[in-house]
């Protein structure tokens, strides 16, 4: 019955919103209703109506663009959570190793910290149900740990130095979800901020980081949007407003049935002066591209990295009665110069293999492999620099993908979890020793070294994971491996910001951005 209601609700929505008394459209809707009725009432065998309805909806959406999708009620909940700014749970950051949940950090003043759960603890039971050593799926573990605010969960904890299992009763609460990964002074007068996505709390986090860095004498800013897949439009617009002058256009949207809608800066932004560099890569998409495009088109800053993903479709959620949802594309995003952010798609384009094809064509390694037609050229709004459309945002300065340190051996170590498991093993074994030896991050960063003991743990984890040892490739990746492990250990001892403070020295895009922002010749001239 629910599926019948769902189908007819969809039909009613379609009829009311789009038919507009158009006889041809009404006939097509009637055709759909009759087909469904015939199948359900006349078909020779029993029909699973739920499957029929969902298959019909998915088939319709498949004929549209790659991003118009159908989501189940469960998928809707999972999609919204990282963007809404909080969820309800026990307040721990954890990782899985050897089928065991390790607590990496407890949320400050969160439910777990309040009852005495510590970093390094292993959660082995939830309400007397074993979750360790039973090959339980990560999603299933998450379901057991999360729950409504105010509900109580009993956790069985194994702690190093204690022979017996410890028991804690944790009262679940609202747990904040942060989208700002790092904020620190990367050089004198130069601040660095990394944003992982654009959610409900992003702008507030960004403003707090800006104010903190300004108090540390920041004059110039590197904004790292590498790997940022987007999120809320409002969060992106609010951030750009901190960079642009009142009245300057941030982005506009337009579609066949959606009239042009413009978003402009309202003024009063917190970073109107000072040099600005935005870092992007092939995984920067949607809201991240809106920010980047606006900064570039108004000549407010310099863009460094590799061409962004090219996702510039405006999507409207269409909620359905059973909690499921259609995400329907209704318009396209355009930058202030008129560039369409969305990359091409259609019958003759293998959209989902676009990044792979870019790599194979050499685009990730060589700037001159990117050939764009003159018809795709646009001019920036202030200086008149030439910028290009055609999908994604083209950087002002290209940085090739690092293929020397990231060897096949390193990729296998990463893919099979050997590096992460090494970090977990080291933290589990030496956390207390490190906390005494390195009372603060400055001391750690200056003196800590990834030694042979840690590397022997890595090689043991690699062997356990089935990674075949290759001496030449191991030596080629060793400097990178050492930095990664040092950064991961720092993250677990302090915060994610400390991870990037160490790791960024190996990131060529970050280093190029720093070089440019510190250059005496820094300027936005007509190219």
pLDDT per residue as tens digits for the range 438-452: 999 999 999 999 999
Do the beta carbons of residue 308 and residue 370 sit within 8 Å? Answer: no
- 153, two tokens: 């969960």
Active-site residue identified among 194, 311, 343, 486: 311
Do the beta carbons of residue 480 and residue 488 sit within 8 Å? Answer: no
Do the beta carbons of residue 142 and residue 87 sit within 8 Å? Answer: no
Which residues, at least 6 apart from 211, have a Cβ–Cβ distance to it below 8 Å?
A: 270
The H-or-E segment that residue 83 falls in is helix 73-84
* Of 287, 273, 283, nearest in space to 221 by CA: 273
Q: Sign of torsion, CA 32 34 40 42?
A: negative
Point out which residues pair with 194 in neighbouring strands.
182, 224
As its CATH architecture, domain 180-401 has: Alpha-Beta Complex (3.90)
Is the pLDDT reported for residue 86 higher than 50?
Answer: yes
CB atoms within 10 A of CB 501: 22
Point out which residues pair with 221 in neighbouring strands.
191, 276
Q: Per mean pLDDT, which of 53-67, 71-85, 402-416, 508-522 is the most reliable?
A: 508-522
Tell me what the pLDDT averaged over the chain comes to: 88
Query: Can 311 be counted among the known catalytic residues?
Result: yes
Q: What is the dihedral of CA 517, 520, 524, 527, to 10 degrees?
A: -110
Which range has the worst mean pLDDT, 397-406, 432-441, 469-478? 397-406
The proportion of the chain whose per-residue pLDDT surpasses 90, expressed as a percent, equals 52
* pTM: predicted TM-score of the whole model, two decimal places: 0.83
Which range has the worst mean pLDDT, 246-250, 301-305, 411-415, 466-470? 411-415
Return the higher-pLDDT residue of 102 and 241.
241
Do the beta carbons of residue 301 and residue 193 sit within 8 Å? Answer: no
Is the pLDDT reported for residue 197 higher than 80?
Answer: yes
Active-site residue identified among 297, 354, 396, 507: 297
The DSSP-derived string for 108-130 is TTSHHHHHT--TT-EEEEETTEE
What confidence category does residue 479 fall into, taking pLDDT thresholds of 50, 70 and 90?
A: very high
- 250, two tokens: 């941030």
- 311, two tokens: 């996702």
Is the pLDDT reported for residue 422 higher than 70?
Answer: yes
Question: CA–CA separation, 38 vs 509, rounded Å?
Answer: 59
CA distances from 524 to 298, 384, 387 (A): 10, 10, 13
What confidence category does residue 146 fall into, taking pLDDT thresholds of 50, 70 and 90?
A: confident
- 253, two tokens: 């949207």
Active-site residue identified among 284, 286, 308, 497: 286
Question: CA–CA separation, 370 vs 307, rounded Å?
Answer: 9
As its CATH architecture, domain 86-176 has: Roll (2.30)
How do the domains of the chain map onto residue ranges? 2-63, 86-176, 180-401, 408-494
pLDDT per residue as tens digits for the range 316-367: 888 888 888 998 999 999 999 999 999 988 776 778 788 888 888 888 888 7
Return the higher-pLDDT residue of 465 and 14.
465
Mean pLDDT value of segment 173-179: 84
Is the pLDDT reported for residue 38 higher than 70?
Answer: yes
Mean pLDDT value of segment 60-76: 86
Bin 83: left if φ > 0, else alpha if -120 < ψ < 50, else beta. alpha
Which residues, at least 6 apart from 52, have a Cβ–Cβ distance to it below 8 Å?
A: 3, 36, 39, 40
């Amino acid at each position: 019955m629910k599926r019948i209601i769902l189908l007819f609700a969809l039909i009613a929505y379609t009829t009311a919103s789009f038919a507009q008394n158009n006889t041809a459209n009404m006939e097509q809707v009637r055709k759909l209703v009759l087909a469904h009725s015939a199948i359900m009432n006349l078909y020779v065998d029993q029909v699973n109506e739920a499957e029929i309805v969902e298959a019909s909806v998915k088939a319709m959406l498949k004929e549209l663009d790659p991003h118009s999708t159908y989501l189940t009620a469960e998928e809707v909940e999972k999609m919204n959570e990282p963007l809404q700014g909080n969820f309800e749970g026990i307040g721990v950051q954890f990782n899985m190793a050897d089928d065991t949940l390790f607590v990496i950090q407890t949320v400050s003043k969160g439910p777990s910290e309040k009852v005495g759960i510590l970093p390094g603890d292993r959660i082995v039971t939830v309400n007397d149900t074993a979750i360790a050593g039973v090959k339980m799926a990560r999603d299933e573990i998450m379901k057991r740990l999360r729950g409504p605010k105010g509900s109580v969960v009993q956790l069985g904890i194994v702690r190093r130095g204690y022979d017996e299992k410890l028991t804690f009763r944790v009262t679940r609460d609202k747990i904040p979800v942060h989208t700002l990964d790092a904020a620190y002074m990367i050089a004198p007068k130069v601040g660095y901020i990394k944003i992982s996505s654009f959610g409900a709390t992003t702008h507030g986090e960004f403003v707090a980081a800006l104010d903190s860095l300004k108090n540390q004498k920041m004059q110039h800013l590197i904004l790292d949007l590498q790997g940022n897949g987007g999120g809320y439009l409002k969060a992106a617009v609010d951030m750009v407003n901190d960079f642009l002058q009142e009245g300057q256009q941030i982005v506009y949207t337009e579609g066949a049935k959606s009239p042009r809608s413009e978003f402009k800066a309202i003024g009063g932004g917190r970073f109107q002066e000072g040099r600005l560099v935005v870092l992007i890569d092939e995984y920067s998409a949607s809201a991240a591209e809106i920010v980047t495009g606006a900064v570039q088109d108004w000549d407010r800053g310099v863009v460094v990295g590799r061409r962004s993903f090219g996702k510039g479709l405006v999507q409207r959620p269409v909620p359905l009665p059973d909690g499921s949802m259609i995400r329907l594309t209704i318009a396209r995003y355009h930058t202030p110069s008129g560039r369409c952010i969305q990359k091409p798609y259609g019958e003759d384009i293998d959209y989902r293999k676009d990044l792979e094809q870019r790599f194979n064509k050499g685009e990730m390694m060589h700037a001159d492999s990117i050939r764009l037609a003159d018809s795709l050229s646009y001019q920036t709004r202030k200086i008149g620099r030439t910028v290009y459309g055609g999908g994604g945002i083209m950087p002002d300065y290209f940085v090739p993908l690092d293929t020397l340190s990231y060897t096949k051996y390193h990729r296998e170590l990463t893919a099979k979890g050997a590096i992460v498991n090494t970090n977990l093993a080291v933290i589990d074994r030496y956390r207390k020793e490190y906390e005494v030896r390195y009372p603060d991050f400055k001391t750690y960063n200056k003196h800590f070294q990834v030694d042979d003991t840690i590397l022997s743990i890595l090689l043991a984890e690699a062997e356990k994971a089935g990674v075949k040892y290759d001496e030449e490739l191991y030596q080629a990746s060793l400097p990178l491996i050492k930095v990664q492990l040092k950064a991961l250990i720092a993250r677990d001892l302090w915060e994610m910001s400390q991870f990037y403070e160490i790791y960024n020295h190996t990131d060529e895009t970050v280093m190029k951005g720093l070089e440019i922002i510190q250059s005496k010749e820094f300027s936005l001239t007509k190219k």
